[in-house]
Amino acid sequence: MKRRIKVAPSVIAADQARLGEEVKRMEKAGADLLHIDVMDGHFVPNITIGPDVVRALDKITDLPLDAHLMIAEPQKYIRAFSQAGADYITVHIEACEGRAREVISQIKALGKAAGISLNPSTPLSAIKGLLKEVDLVLVMTVEPGFCGQKFMLSVIPKIKSLRKVFKGDIGVDGGIDQDTAGYAVSCGANILACGSYIFRAKDPRRAIQNLKKCQKK
C-alpha cells in the first residue's frame, strides 16, 4: 500500500527569535504538518517550549501541529497541549511508566491523534499491545534532546519490523535528509520529522520536495 509521505519540519531547528515567521516560511514551503519538540530537562537533557508557545503558533498557522512530548509524567500535560491546539500528541513509552494505555486513551478522549515514540535503544516489544490503540508510532532515529545529530542506521530494522505489523502512520525523527529519508521510506516510514535539513536549506521548498521524492518506489 503506497502511503503519501508527509513532511513535518521540526521547529526546534528554526530561528527561535523569529518562530512565527519561520512557521509561515514552512507553510509556504509546502510542509504537511509542524513537528514541535517539547523537552523538560528531565526526560531529555534539554529544555524547549510549552503549551503557551503551541497556542501562539496554532493562532498563526492552519498546519496540523504534532506535539512530540519528550517529558516525564506526560499524563499531567496532555490536556494543556490539547487545549493549546496540538492535533497530534506523541508521548514516549519510556516516560509512561507502565501507564501508556491510560495516557493514549486520555489523548484520544480529547479527540487528538495519539502517538507513541520509542528511543533508539527501546525494542518494538515495549509497545506490544498498543499498536491497535495508537494513530502514529514515532521511531526516534537519534537520541532525543537535540537537533543536528546523525541518523542512526541501527534503527532501520526496527522500522522494517514495525511496518510489518502496523498499518498506521510511522514517523521517523532525527537526522532526516534526502539520503536518510530514502532508507526510512523504503522501510515503511511515511511521516518525516525533519529539522536541520529543512531549516538550514537555502530553499526549504526544494528540501521538502527532495524528501517527498523519496516516496517508496
* Region label for 206, one of left (φ > 0), alpha (ψ between -120 and 50) or beta (otherwise): alpha
**Among residues 94, 169, 173, 177, the one that binds Zn ion under rule CB under 5 A:** 173
What track of x and - describes contact with Zn ion for positions 27 through 46 (by CB under 5 A)?
Answer: ----------x---------
Task: Tell me, yes or no, if 37 is annotated catalytic.
Answer: yes
SS3 category, 34? strand
Q: Choose from ligand DX5, Zn ion, none: what does 175 bind? Cβ within 5-8 Å by kind.
A: ligand DX5
User: What does 117 bind: ligand DX5, Zn ion, none (CB cut-off 5 to 8 Å by kind)?
Assistant: none
Q: Which of 40, 58, 173, 177 is catalytic?
A: 173
68 sits near Zn ion (criterion: CB under 5 A): yes
Residues near Zn ion (CB under 5 A), total: 3
Evaluate whether 95 touches 104 at the Cβ level (below 8 Å): no
**Binding segment (CB under 5 A) for Zn ion, from list 92-100, 165-173, 176-184, 203-211:** 165-173
Any idea which residue has 513535518 for its cell? 8
* For Zn ion, the closer CB: 79 or 146: 146
| Residues 70 and 40: beta-carbon distance below 8 Å | yes
Structural contact between residues 143 and 120, judged by C-beta atoms closer than 8 angstroms: yes
C-alpha cell at 135: 494513530
Residue 142 DSSP SS3: coil
The binder of 88, among Zn ion, ligand DX5, none, by C-beta within 5 to 8 A per type, is: none
Which residues are tagged catalytic? Answer: 37, 173
